[in-house]
Amino acid sequence: MTTARKQLISLADTPYYHCISRCVRRAFLCGEDKNTGQSYDHRRGWVEDKMLALSQVFAIDVCAYAIMSNHTHMVLFVDEAMATTWTTSEVIERWHQLFKGTLLTQQYCRGEEIPDYLMTSLLETVEVYRNRLMNISWFMRLLNQSIAIQANQEDNCTGHFWEGRFKSQALLDEAALAACMAYVDLNPVRAKIAKTPESSAHTSVKERAAKAKKGKQPSMLLPFVGNPRKVMPKGLPFELTDYLELIELTGRCIREDKVGYIKQNQLALLTRLNINPENWLTLSKEFRKLFHGAVGHGDVLSDYCEHKGLKRRASVTCCDKLLA
């Protein structure tokens, strides 16, 4: 039985979520069809462009992504704090980038006077829009729906493009976040369609590596802001150089099957997260197979399950073994 989305998303526990969508029947509808030889690789660019465009409208930032030939991986950050600061005008203007809105919201945007007896209705509508603009289900719905429509028009057909619902996992602590991001960024290397992380097309790590060479970070991705401190800006709680170094070495291990490349005492990020190299390599190779629900250390996983009313702590054994 599938689990209701509201039972999986808990912003009180974490703003970070790993989302996966697969093409129907896992066909290569965004890659090269092995039977016909026809290439649909350009659709990966569609997904990437639409995802990044939506992140500029929603209060949702992209931490990591990999657009593969028959599935997509995304690590998303829900910025609830930012959404609560938006004014009525900002919420409506953002929503109108996606939908027409109502007659009232259109009148408000045109600067027309709204009678007092209708203002309450307008403000209620605005709060509905605000909640949707920080809702992962709405984000993924608009992303996948637009790609499905575009692909069906190109193929002159109808029907499903994506399998049922997208899958999502709550990432409850820094170890789970770092491991999941690495798993996502290294997808093409594991699949042997890219030799190095920085050469893997349609991935966040390629964008980050290219910008890092110029001493910058991609403007459309959630930035790395360094290790946690008293006054912490918005962003990923890791050093960019530490993360890229770890990804590069992990990719080499996966490609050449040599665990010895990773030495914990030489990698600041693994030391800080207290994850040994063997466990890290397992996480970066098999994250999705190992964990079928929320991911994090035992204490945060217990809190999450309690808040969501879940009786069973899924994957708690793997969490305790591999994240320690």
Whether 192 and 102 map to the same domain: the answer is: no
Q: Are residues 182 and 261 in the same domain?
A: yes
Cα separation, 104 vs 244, whole angstroms: 48
SS3 content of the chain, % helix, strand, coil (to 5): 50, 10, 35
pLDDT digit string, tens, across residues 250-290 = 988 887 766 556 665 567 888 889 888 889 989 999 999 99
Give the pLDDT confidence score for residue 169 in this predicted structure: 94
Task: Quote the tokens at residue 47.
Answer: 């997904």
Distance CA 17, CA 168 (A): 6
Concatenating the DSSP letter of every residue in 91-113 gives HHHHHHTTS---HHHHHHHTTPP
Average pLDDT on 178-202 reads 94
307: which 2 tokens?
């808040």
pTM: 0.93
Q: Examine residue 138 and state whether it is found in any structural domain, yes or no.
A: no
C-alpha torsion sign, points 216, 51, 74, 188: negative
Residue 200 in domain: yes
Domain of residue 277 covers: 173-281
Residue 5 pLDDT grade (very low, low, confident, very high; cuts 50, 70, 90) = low
Quote the distance between the C-alpha of residue 39 and its chain's center.
26
Considering only CA atoms, which of 323, 208, 305 is closest in space to residue 10? 305
In DSSP terms, 167 is beta-bridged to 20
Q: Please tell me the distance from the alpha carbon of residue 13 to that of residue 303, in angstroms, as a whole number.
A: 8
Domain count, the chain: 2
Is the per-residue pLDDT at 3 higher than 70? no
pLDDT tens, 193-206? Answer: 998 999 999 999 99
Average pLDDT of span 30-49? 88
pLDDT of residue 258: 60
Q: Are residues 195 and 128 in the same domain?
A: no
- Looking at the fold, whether 178 and 275 belong to one and the same domain comes out as yes
Q: What is the mean pLDDT of the chain?
A: 91
Instruction: Give residue 216's pLDDT.
Output: 96
pLDDT at 1 (0 to 100) = 43
Whether residue 217 is contained in a domain is answered as: yes
